[in-house]
Structure 1
Amino acid sequence: MIHTNRRNFLKKSGLAAAGTLLIPSMSFAVAPNEKYGVQLYSFRDEMAKDAKGTLEQIASIDIKKIESARSKEGLYYGLSPKEMKETCDSLGMELCSGHVALDKDFENTMRQAVESGQEYIICSSLPSKGQNIANYKKVAEAFNKAGESCKKLGLKFGYHNHEYEFESDKGEVLYDVLMDNTDPDLVHMELDLGWVVVAEKDPLHYFKKYPKRFPLWHLKDMNMHEKVSTEFGKGGLDIAMMMKHKSDSGVKHIFIEQEEYASTPMESMKHNMNFLKTL
């Protein structure tokens, strides 16, 4: 049975018919050798207490890729960039990306990213406030410059959306303004699929409008009433449909993120990994 929230979303987005057509082919939506990652904010408290021990637990449930997140302990939860890389390597995981701020310390952020061996650094929130076209064009210019700086160091710069970027100003969706004014060779988008559907937008529309522009995903199911994350299959994101169309988006790294949990972060992540394996 389609979850009520998801059914409402599908009706709004025009995907209801497509969803019914997908059902017979769901088992082919996910490649069996897909290597999934996790955004470490999902384990933020555990990482703050015991970074290496938590990474060991994450590796034990077959997660192969890591995206770090800036915290009060630093970019790598108290570990040095080299320690973070070595720990992931020893556990058979790849440190691919990290959430950072585009701020006065950005030079040091890039330096640490190079030392860690990661490929991407992702700005996790807008560097200047203003829900209007003028600010988003200003942000796009800053992102292009940051992308140039990263490219010189062999890094890739990107941006991670929330819900608010899909608000409109003067009839234009602000996220589209950001997309239209950033250089695809310099700014690599990480699409948080959960926030897209909460904003009542269709991720498939963005895959089509901006093909191959989303090398990173946050795969996040959402409770559509409370606007909080939930375990896979319990919310409003049609995960099988997303997987079927992932090549359209150009995704290379899929990071699972969950910020609220039915019990514990590890139990939720085990559920999510099992869900993906049984699609």
Structure 2
Amino acid sequence: MKDLAHSLVCDQTSRFDLAHQDSRRRFVKLSVAAMGLAAMPGSIAFAANMLKTPAAVGLQLYTLRDMMAVSVPATLKLVAAVGYKELEFAGYFDHKASEVKTILHNEGLTAPSAHIGLTEFDKGVTRVIDHALEVGHQYLVIPYLTEEQRGTGIDVYKKLAERCNVIGEACNKAGLKLAYHNHAFEFEIRNGQLPYDVLLNETDKDLMAMEMDLFWMFKAKQDPIAYFKQHPGRFKLWHVKDMDEAGNFADVGTGTIDFAPIFAQSQLSGVEHRFVERDKTDDKLQTIQQGYNAMSALLA
């Protein structure tokens, strides 16, 4: 592990010439902190060797976007050292698909899914698909709608559903699957309807799956299990993200969300991959360690 931490620092300091010195310093601190994994008996790195989980623990890389911007190889090395096996990408940071594939292989990681904005699909669905196939993705996830993309009225979501069916069909033909990731705004009533329900009901279940973000479901005061019952097998991906008492982000397992009953309904939901995520965190290393630990316990 000491060699690992040393290599992380070396990768960052000698191989990357970045303009933002503050980002470099933050990354070095996190890289050096990894050295402590070997010296802490109760650390997650130790637990990674001891815990036997029936399913792989995944991480959404948006959590580490600042680190990814500094060094993708070093960041993925750190993630693998914590114990994660699956990743969901949120940008490739100017790396070619072949480069990403090689990094993943070298670290013993897979990337079942990636977040792909609608604007990227606008540039060419085939281009997106070809890149995804080369990396080794299985799912392409629409992650977010800007205020402009949301527009007004429910017709915006009806048209989006039509578009998703077209993109989803192209993905299916290539052996991929399209999915949609929710926030809270999909549960704001428009013209007497919930946009989320429109997307579920007006897209073909065989052409678009759903990635359920559990934090945003609770933020919108929605019941994940109720949706599992209404649309069994539809929720192939989850974001496992916790909430503190003030309604803000928290490390998984330290907040107010009771994940156990939700995980107990995994078969009903159809989930195949679960990703730890925290949108904003002051201690990235602690966040991914705690997330790994909590998810491992839930899957044990």
Normalising by the smaller structure, the TM-score range is: 0.7 to 0.9
What percent of counterpart residues are identical? 37
Say which SS state the counterpart of residue 113 (structure 2) adopts: strand
CA–CA distance in structure 2, aligned partners of residues 31 and 155 of structure 1: 30
Query: Between Structure 1 and Structure 2, whose CA radius of gyration is higher?
Result: 2
What do the CA deviations read for 1:106-165 (whole angstroms, capped 9, x no partner)? 332222112212111111123732243211111100100000111122211111111100
- After superposing on structure 2, the runs of 4+ consecutive aligned residues of structure 1 that deviate more than 3 Å are none
2:177 equivalent in structure 1: 156
The answer on whether the counterparts of 1:39 and 1:256 sit within 8 Å (CA) in structure 2 is yes
The counterpart of 1:88, out of the listed 91, 96, 104, is 104
Distance 2:198 2:245 in 1: 25
The alignment's TM-score, normalised by the length of structure 2, stands at: 0.77
SS in 1 for 2:150: coil
2:80 maps to what in 1?
59
Partner of 1:275: 294
Equivalent-residue separation in structure 2 for 1:260 and 1:222 (angstroms): 12
Q: C-alpha displacement at 1:224, in angstroms?
A: 5.3
Runs of 5+ in structure 1 lacking a partner? 1-29, 71-75
Aligned: 1:68 with 2:89: yes
- Answering whether residue 118 of structure 2 is matched by residue 97 of structure 1, we say no
Q: Which runs of 5+ in 2 are unaligned?
A: 1-50
Q: 1:164 to 1:131 in 2, by over 3 A?
A: farther
1-side partners of 2:53 and 2:173: how far apart?
Answer: 36
Contact 2:240 2:252 in 1 (8 A): no
Q: Give the aligned partner of residue 208 of structure 1.
A: 229
Counterpart in the other structure of 2:279: 259
* Matched residue type, 2:169: E
The answer to which structure, 1 or 2, has the higher relative contact order (CA under 8 A, 6+ apart) is: 1
Closer, same or farther: CA 50–187 of 1 in aligned 2, 3 Å: same
How many angstroms does 1:93 deviate by? 1.0
Deviation string, structure 1 residues 191-246 (Cα, Å, up to 9, x no partner): 11110000011111111111000111111112352x43211233232111211111
The one-letter code sitting in structure 1 at the alignment partner of 2:123 is D
Counterparts of 1:237 and 1:89, CA distance in 2: 34
Deviation at 1:57, TM superposition (A): 0.5
Q: Which residue of 1 aligns with 2:199?
A: 178
Moved more, 110-119 or 202-211: 110-119
- RMSD over aligned CA atoms reads 1.8
Aligned to 1:178, the other structure's residue is in SS state helix
Aligned to 1:34: 55
| Distance verdict in 2 for CA 1:172–1:224, change over 3 Å | farther
Cα shift at 1:271: 1.1
Could you tell me which amino acid in structure 2 is paired with residue 121 of structure 1? Answer: L
Name the one with the larger helix percent.
2
- What TM-score do you get using the length of structure 1 for normalisation? 0.82
Task: Go from structure 1 to structure 2 and tell me whether the alpha carbon gap of 1:179 and 1:224 turns closer, same or farther (over 3 Å shift).
Answer: farther
Tell me which of 121, 126, 143 is aligned to 2:145.
126
Q: Quick one: which amino acid aligns to residue 214 of structure 2?
A: L
Higher mean displacement: 268-277 or 124-133: 124-133
How many residues matched?
A: 243
